[in-house]
Structure 1
Amino acid sequence: MKSAVETLNPTRVRLTVEVPFEELKDSLDAAYSKINQQVTVPGFRKGKIPARLIDQRFGRGAVLEEAVNDALPKLYQSAVEEGELNVLGQPEVDITELKDNELLAFTAEVDVRPEIEIPDYSGIEVEVEAAEVSDADVDEAVEQLRERFASTTAVERAAAEGDVVKVDLEARIDGEVLEDGVAQGVDYTIGSGELLDGIDEAVTGLEAGGSATFTSELKGGSGAGREAEVAVTVQTVSARELPELDDEFAQLASEFDTLEELREDSRKRLADQKKQEQATQAQEKVLDALLELIEVPVPEKLLADEIESRKHNLVNHQLGQLGLDLESYLKMQDKSEEEFDAELKEQAEKGIRTQFVLDELVSKEKLNVSQEELTEHLMRRAQSSGMSPDQFAQAVVEGGQVPVLVGEVARGKALATVVEAVTVKDTAGEVVDLSDEDAEEAEEGAEAEQAPAAEAADEAGKTES
């Protein structure tokens, strides 16, 4: 077999392959054997029909077609390996010549990973928010905890902001009650903004048994995104009572004996949280700065597949679970379809570029993934998916997705390597030391940027092995 590689552009090549006919012998034998099992000729047992008779009865062309279909994948893979190509996706194959007992020639156009030159990135400098915890931050955290331990008492007065009302709701569009537009006994805290726009004004001032109507745009269900007339009836009005901020509250709400101990624990938790947020912000900014330094051409087919994958995931999973369609979502976001498509393309392109760059860094830095690192990552992914680690691991193995997880961990380590090499300062001008942070945050940051690009590219990359 002879093969040659022609570069069509930085992300696409054309393979030209010529195969002497004798190299098709195994595939021809397999073709005759397959046809033998599928056809019947009087006077011959199934599987015992001579090859010459198959040619006479069913045509040599049918045999050649079956043989070529059997041989092409293996011949293509051999040409890929010979050309040392890093291919993406399925090739477009065109048989250019087929001479019986002489020659098979074909071309295969396929996308390839672009060659990327990683520059010196040690000069990158980014600024992040300072990880400072103020007394006001601690006050807010303690107040949120206090809110969780609030009690309610039924009152015989008009509802006011902060009260909890139990209400019945009925939504109508064009005078017709929606099938999913009726709800009874819904608890709502006035001023929380957790239900429909306009409900605060409607129920404020109503006593138990009082009713009102208001107009609001529905956020979900069959009428999502449409204006509806909503009737609301108040069943009960309850006042919320907050516990006193004292040592007794600290003992009720925590394992601490004093309010001061509770406040100090809150300060420590906030400091840890802000440190994590600072690390995440640093990774995002470092990644953006790194991508600006590198020219990364993106294969058109891979980009199109990635855009479609993201759109499908949004429409059929995320919005579907909320009872929304794309039109309603765009209306809520105040975006045109053109703006949405442009944003989706930008996000998809960045995801693919991120994966290509981090994969190149993995190769350049010779980064490996240990079993312990893979297990830790699997545990985090299982937790975020709502599955048990055993269930998630089984799904990953059965779906052949282990290489995907390995890639996610490796890319996270690659991004962590870059973050450690650059300068990160906070808004106060102080250098931020992220050395105590492990690769977990970087791993999740890299994964967020390139997912679901990872899924599309890894699916496409199955032809690499």
Structure 2
Amino acid sequence: MNVKLKEINPYTRQVTIAVPWEDLESAFEAHMRRFTKKVRMPGFRKGKVPRKVVVQNFGMELEAEFAQDSIEMHYSEALQEHKIVPVNQAKIEDLQFSRGTSLSFIATVEVEPQVKLPKYNRKMKVKKNIYIPDDADVDAYIEEVRQQFAELKTVEEGSGDGHLLLVDMQEMDTSGVPIIGKKVEDRYIKVGDGVFGGDNLSRLTDLKVGDTAMLETETTKEGGLTKYKLTVKNVQEEIFPEMDEEFIKKLDNEATDETSFRENVLKRIQERLDRDAEGQLNEAIIDYFLQSTDLEPPPSMVDNYIENSIEQAKSNNGETFDEDKYRNEARPSVVRSIKWYLIRKALVNGEELSVSDEEINEHIEKILESAEDEKGKIRRYYKKSSNKERLRDDLLDRSLFETLKEYAKISEVIISTSDLRKQRELSTEGA
């Protein structure tokens, strides 16, 4: 077998294969014997049709079958010989074969391109956010927790700021006529919260069960208004628990009083912000490589990823959607994901990183130590090899980013959560 390999572009290979007849003859004869045994013709018993008659009547079919089988076998041999790992189905062209002559064809296939990494061990510069929380974050957390444990009390004398209304909301047209199909039943709204404040606050005040009210909300950038008719079905107020010793112990066994509770909350907030910062740093490192690496993913990898996502979405949701729109919208993020997959693979190989089975088992044991009531569930989960491999991938990611951070020149940016709140307020006002 003669094989010629041509690089069309970084991810496309053209494989020209030629096999002389002397290397095919014995296989062809064996194929012909099998083929003849299946032939049925009038005047002959099955499998007893003379060879010459078979060739005269089925010669083209016989050669086509043999050529197809031979293509698959010799194509696989060529891939192994030249260490080619295709990422798509090969396109077969210029097939030439007839009994007594050589077999030749051209296979065009896509492969993972070779990744030329930047000199990241000297030139990688990234920024890391350092978040500083404050008492306002603790207050917000405590308020959220108190709301979660709040009890609801029915209000008889009429609604006020902060009360909860159970309502039916009917959208109205400009002339005040209800729009069919635009009614939402049994919705809870909070008086004074968001669109239910401002000019609507007075409209939602002093309402009782059975009362109606007209509500206006701005629904377009041009300032267009949508009108709703609200029918009140219940009025309630939230009774929040006091931050006494009993409630604090319910939330945090380690806290002895409100001061120590607040300290513990602040510590947990800081830990969460630190995790967020590490995740953002990892993304900054990924961005560095994406921007610094000249790499185009094979189109077939992108297309296959998108098509698999569509099939999975259809299988999970059972709903139809605009598949062409999804393909167009998903493509940029899919290209990014596959490009990082190829870069990550090159980095892992270059740094000679790996995760052993022993390391995986040790990590699972650590998880079990901190999960008293879930041990059986966790063991069952990691009995599946796919879940173990997913864990191996996560640990490999952790090892990779730890290694890359050692190379990186990291400049820290101090950000207070109070500044973040101000930014959110400004963006909300400008929206």
| Superposition TM-score, scaled by structure 1 size | 0.70
In the alignment, which residue of structure 2 is the partner of 1:268?
Answer: 267
Distance 1:408 1:148, change over 3 A: closer
Superposed, 1:167-206 pairs within 5 Å as 167-170=167-170, 177-178=180-181, 184-190=185-191, 203-206=204-207
Tell me, in whole angstroms, the C-alpha distance in 2 between the residues paired with 1:389 and 1:27.
56
Q: For each residue in 1:251-306, what CA deviation from the matched residue of structure 2 results, as whole angstroms up to 9, or x when unmatched?
A: 34332442223212212211211111111011000111122222112223333444
1:246 to partner: Cα distance? 3.0
In structure 1, distance between residues paired with 2:260 and 2:28: 78
How far residue 141 of structure 1 moved from its aligned partner, in angstroms, is 1.6
Native 8 Å contact 1:129 1:427 kept in 2: yes
SS state of the match for residue 108, structure 1? strand
Q: Which amino acid aligns with 2:408?
A: V
- CA distance change for structure 1 residues 71 and 188 in 2, over 3 Å: closer, same or farther? farther
Partner of 2:248: 250
| Partner residue in 2 for 1:17 | 17
Runs of at least 5 residues in structure 2 that lack an aligned partner in the other structure: 220-224, 368-376, 416-431
Matched letter for residue 5 of structure 2: V
Q: Residue 417 of structure 1 corresponds to which residue in structure 2? A: 403
SS at the partner of 2:157?
A: coil
Matched, 1:33 2:19: no
- 1:367 and 2:353 matched: yes
Q: What SS does the corresponding residue of 2:121 show, helix, strand or coil?
A: coil
Q: State the alpha-carbon separation in 2 of the partners of residues 403 and 65 from structure 1.
A: 43
Distance 1:404 1:267, change over 3 A: closer
Which residue of structure 1 aligns with residue 424 of structure 2?
A: none
Query: 2-side partners of 1:201 and 1:104: how far apart?
Result: 87
TM superposition shift of 1:182:
5.3
| Match for residue 348 of structure 1 among 310, 313, 334 | 334
1:66 aligns with 2:52: no
Match of residue 208 from structure 1? 209
Partner residue, 1:87: 86
Q: How does 1:131-170 map to 2 (within 5 A)?
A: 131-170=131-170
Q: Quick check: 1:28–1:67 contact (8 Å CA) kept in 2?
A: no
1:67 Cα offset (Å): 1.7
Show the 5 A alignment for 1:282-321.
Answer: 282-307=281-306, 312=310, 316=314
1:150 shift after superposition: 1.5
Distance 1:42 1:298, change over 3 A: same
Is residue 113–residue 356 contact of structure 1 (8 Å, CA) maintained in 2?
Answer: yes
Letter aligned with residue 261 of structure 1: S
Question: What RMSD, in angstroms, separates the aligned Cα atoms of the two structures?
Answer: 4.2
Counterpart of 2:423 in structure 1 is none
2:248–2:258: 8 Å Cα contact kept in structure 1? Answer: yes
Secondary structure, aligned partner of 1:130: strand
Q: Are the equivalent residues in 2 in contact too, given 1:2–1:18 (CA < 8 A)?
A: yes
Q: For this pair of structures, how many residues does the alignment match? A: 392
Q: For residues 163 and 392 of structure 2, what CA distance do their matches in structure 1 show?
A: 51
State the shift of 1:129 in Å: 1.7
- Per-residue CA deviations over 1:77-112 (Å, capped at 9, x if unaligned) read 211222222322111111432131221100011112
Residue 87 of structure 2 aligns to a residue whose secondary structure is: strand
- Separation in 1 of the partners of 2:52 and 2:167? 85
SS across alignment from 1:16: strand
- Cα shift readout 1:386-413 (whole Å, capped 9, x = no counterpart): xx7688778876xxx9878766654554
Q: 1:67 to 1:156 in 2, by over 3 A?
A: same
CA positional deviation for 1:247: 2.3
The one-letter amino acid of 1:208's match is V
Query: Counterpart of 1:207 in 2: which secondary structure?
Result: coil
- Counterpart of 2:400, as a letter, is A
Cα drift, residue 171 of structure 1: 5.7
Would the aligned equivalents of 1:315 and 1:326 in 2 still touch at CA under 8 Å? no
Q: Secondary structure at the match of 2:162?
A: coil
The CA distance in 2 between the partners of 1:229 and 1:428, in whole Å, is: 45
2:128 is the alignment partner of 1:128: yes
Is residue 291–residue 354 contact of structure 1 (8 Å, CA) maintained in 2? yes
In 1, the alpha carbon distance for the partners of 2:94 and 2:74 equals 12
Question: What's the CA shift for 1:144?
Answer: 1.6
1:235 corresponding residue in structure 2: 233
CA distance in 1, matches of 2:228, 2:30: 74
**Which 10-residue stretch deviates more, 341-350 or 113-122?**
341-350
The 8 Å contact of residues 132 and 414 in structure 2, kept in 1 or not, is answered as no
Deviations 1:42-66 (A, max 9, x none): 6766566665553344x12111211
TM-score, length of structure 2 as denominator length: 0.75
Name the SS for the 2:76 alignment partner.
Answer: helix
Tell me if structure 2 keeps the 8 A contact 1:125–1:422. yes
Does the CA-based 8 Å contact 2:127-2:410 persist in structure 1?
yes
SS at 2:132 equivalent: coil
Gaps of 5+ in 1: 219-226, 328-336, 381-387, 430-465
In structure 2, what is the Cα distance between the partners aligned to 1:292 and 1:236?
56
Q: Structure 1 residue 358 and structure 2 residue 357: aligned? A: no
Q: Distance in 2 between matches of 1:35 and 1:421?
A: 68
Q: Residues 43 and 160 (structure 1 numbering): CA distance in 2 closer, same or farther, change over 3 Å?
A: farther
* CA distance in 2: counterparts of 1:390 and 1:9, whole angstroms: 47
- Secondary structure, counterpart of 2:410 in structure 1: strand
Mapped contact 1:158–1:207 kept (Cα < 8 A)? yes
The 3-state SS of whatever aligns with 2:266 is helix
Cα separation, 2, equivalents of 1:346 and 1:132 = 34
Deviations 1:195-243 (A, max 9, x none): 9xx998864553211124557799xxxxxxxx98754321110111222
Task: State, as a whole percentage, how many aligned pairs show the same letter.
Answer: 22
Match for 2:118: what amino acid? Answer: P
